[in-house]
Amino acid sequence: MGCLRALLCIIFPPLAVLDRGCGTVIIVFLLTLAGWVPGAIAALVLNFMAANSR
């Protein structure tokens, strides 16, 4: 995961997981609506897991 992607996870989490699929975007969007911190953490974790699986 690059620095730009990590920064995007913190600033606008749903945009950072846009390439992961519709379900992931919806989940992160709902978490972001519930509170910014849960959405940012979910986006960081999902992007970190995807980067390590390659």
pLDDT of 54 strictly over 90: no
What pTM was estimated for this model as a whole? 0.89
Q: Mark residue 37 as left, alpha or beta (left: phi above 0; alpha: psi -120 to 50; beta: remaining).
A: alpha
- Where does the pLDDT of residue 1 fall: very low under 50, low under 70, confident under 90, or very high at 90 and above? confident
Tokens describing residue 47:
């992007």
Query: Contact, 16 vs 45, CB < 8 A?
Result: no
Among residues 37, 35, 34, 39, the alpha carbon closest in space to that of 16 is found at 39
Q: Mean pLDDT, the chain, as a whole number?
A: 93
The average pLDDT across 29-49 equals 95
Residue 38 CA to residue 54 CA, distance in Å, equals: 25
pLDDT of 30 strictly over 80: yes
